[in-house]
């Protein structure tokens, strides 16, 4: 999902949780798990992609145009979510429960909205073990040539997110995705 989409859904969920519980810790944790979790991409961008252009617009464009080569994304993992849920259960910390709740909201939205751009979807992609087996190579999960170049300004793309070329052409109507190249083999060993 686009960062703006996550910001909106997290704000709505956070407001509901705060109204229902009055817990600032739970709400802050939810905001971190639901929105700040995307700092995972900044970590990858700097550490694994070795990109030095830290302007938000350059960073956003890099992702929305699918220029990513490595997708390590430790926080975007079922395994980490399960581990943190276990930790939250054992420690019973509100902020940690909030984080788990936020991530449990974030990942399904990523699966649905980002998976929409890839035939076969991205359910497997959000397993750390799966990405590791594929050598964390982004090309094993998606074909960036299908994504439309980002031509609009920062805030519009922040809320709109990545689009297929076919969508960009027929403005708004659901694009028919061309088949993936043979190189996209998901979790198979690299």
Q: How many residues bind Zn ion (CB under 5 A)?
A: 2
The nearer residue to Zn ion, 38 or 167, going by C-beta atoms, is: 38
Could you tell me the smallest distance in angstroms from the CB atom of residue 98 to Zn ion? 17
Q: How far is the CB of 1 from Zn ion (least distance, A)?
A: 7
Distances (CA, A) of 55 to 52, 69, 154: 9, 19, 10
Residues 57-116 that bind Zn ion (CB under 5 A): 110
Q: What minimum distance in Å lies between the beta carbon of 86 and Zn ion?
A: 22
DSSP string, 99-127: HHHHHHHHHHHHHHHHHTTSTT-STGGG-
Q: Among 62, 78, 61, which residue's Cα sits nearest to residue 70?
A: 62
| Binders in 139-178 for Zn ion, by CB under 5 A | none
CA 178/CA 122 separation, integer angstroms: 16
- Which residue's Cβ has the minimum distance to Zn ion? 110
Stretch that binds Zn ion, among 15-23, 38-46, 54-62, 80-88 (CB under 5 A): 38-46
Using the contact rule CB under 5 A, the part of the chain among 31-39, 87-95, 146-154, 159-167 near Zn ion is: 31-39
**Do residues 38 and 6 make contact, with C-beta atoms less than 8 angstroms apart?**
yes
In the complex, minimum distance from the CB of residue 109 to Zn ion, in angstroms, rounded to a whole number: 8
Site residues, Zn ion (CB under 5 A): 38, 110
């Amino acid at each position: 999902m686009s960062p703006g989409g996550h910001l909106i859904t997290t704000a709505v969920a956070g407001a509901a949780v705060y109204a229902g519980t009055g817990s600032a810790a739970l709400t802050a944790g939810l905001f971190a798990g639901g929105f700040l979790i995307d700092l995972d991409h900044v970590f990858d961008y700097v550490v694994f992609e070795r990109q030095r252009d830290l302007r938000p617009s350059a960073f956003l464009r890099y992702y929305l145009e699918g220029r990513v080569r490595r997708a390590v994304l430790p926080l975007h993992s079922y395994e980490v979510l399960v581990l943190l849920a276990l930790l939250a259960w054992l420690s019973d910390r509100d902020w940690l429960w909030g984080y788990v709740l936020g991530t449990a909201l974030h990942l399904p939205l990523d699966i649905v909205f980002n998976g929409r751009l890839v035939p076969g979807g991205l359910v497997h992609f959000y397993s750390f073990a799966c990405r590791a087996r594929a050598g964390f190579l982004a090309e094993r999960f998606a074909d960036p040539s299908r994504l439309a170049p980002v031509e609009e300004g920062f805030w519009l793309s922040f809320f709109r997110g990545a689009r297929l070329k076919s969508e960009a052409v027929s403005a708004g109507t659901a694009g028919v995705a061309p088949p993936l190249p043979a190189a996209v083999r998901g979790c198979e060993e690299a």
